[in-house]
Amino acid sequence: LAFDTVSGSLAASYKRPSDDLVFAPATVSPSWVPATQRVGGTAETVVAPIPWVLISASVTYSRASFVEGNSQYAAGSLVPYSPQFVARLDAAATPEIGTLMSQPVKLTVGVGGSVLAVRPLPYGQFGTNIALLDGRIAVR
């Protein structure tokens, strides 16, 4: 099987901001919190088995924890609402299906899925894992 295009990448990250923003459910907005540290990595690949088909996949790991504490968060605890694993898979096909007024007509069909796992919540609890699926169909 010969692929038209194959690419991939790996990345690692480390951040230690002196203060950070965390989602606050009470105000439905971000609020400032003490210093955190975020350690993680990402792997992704893109494959085009034929010119009009594209498939991409990625997985990200991130561990976000508080370096300093306050009355609401203890030093060393995980940052709430920041999933530790996020995975995504997308596939799209855009074949030319004909012509209209001498212009090519293309069909676009795409599907994508995401998984968010190991989601810390306040008070040392964890939320359930989430799976999302979306799709698109268009003619142009």
In tens, the pLDDT along 42-73 reads: 999 999 999 899 999 999 999 999 999 888 88
* Tokens linked to 95: 């074949």
Confidence (pTM): 0.81
Which residues neighbour 28 within 8 Å (Cβ) at sequence distance 6 or greater? Answer: none
CA 120 to chain centre: 16
d(CA 32, CA 59): 28
Q: How much is the pLDDT for 110? A: 98
100 contacts 68 by C-beta, under 8 angstroms: no
d(CA 94, CA 103): 15
Q: How much is the pLDDT for 2? A: 58
65 contacts 77 by C-beta, under 8 angstroms: yes
**Position 11 pLDDT exceeds 70:** yes
